[in-house]
Structure 1
Amino acid sequence: MAETILVTLIIFSSIFGVIFTFLTTRNKERLALIENGADAKLFNSGKKYSFGHFILSIALLAIGVGAGILFGALLRQNGMEDEVAFSSCIFIFGGIGLMFSFFLTRKLDKEDK
């Protein structure tokens, strides 16, 4: 019981420490650049991420995972082991869904320009 609490505290404190260090270092770097006369536009990367692209990626990933589960069930009925059938199909179809999302997002971005 005490080990579980200790491990949980270590994990969350490590995550907090990494995020805190990243944010404070980034802030110090930006302040130093501004003090040296750099323009504030330097911090804008120019690429805006839209919520629609994120939803599209999540939706296609979910569709891929669902298709992977369905195809894994079909393979299991044909004699393949459960663990191999489901895990391989979920990863394969989830990856195909994310690849399709990438190409579709890239096409949509080209149409916007």
Structure 2
Amino acid sequence: MTLQEAGDRHLAAHRAAGNPQQYAYLALDCCDVAPLQYHLAHNPQIKAVCLCQDNDEAGKRSAQRAFDLLRDECKFQGQIVPLLPPIPGGDYNDYLQAQIQRSRETALECAQSF
């Protein structure tokens, strides 16, 4: 999984939601393909790569470059899944911060109802 920002928070969210051992997490700086090539070469069991760039034009271009690099340079034959955060123009940090804020508000509402 490539992450432009908020890699640790994204990993924490997956740990809270499920089994993080089912996934390999790799944070990259833009589209430097060398770490990804190394990771894929040493982990041939990987069947899918999720791209988690920002949900803006630059992020979409970055996801396309990463897709092309995976296919062309890494020769990756598995599934490549672009996962843009649901907030248009935002990134996963924005999304996770919004989720945290909603959770706090819900907890506060529940506490006040007692």
On whether the aligned pair clears a TM of 0.5, the verdict is no
Higher relative contact order (Cα pairs below 8 Å, separated by 6+ residues): 2
Q: What is the TM-score when the length of structure 1 is the normalising length?
A: 0.26
Q: Higher helix fraction: Structure 1 or Structure 2?
A: 1
Q: What is the TM-score when the length of structure 2 is the normalising length?
A: 0.26
Greater Rg over alpha carbons, structure: 1
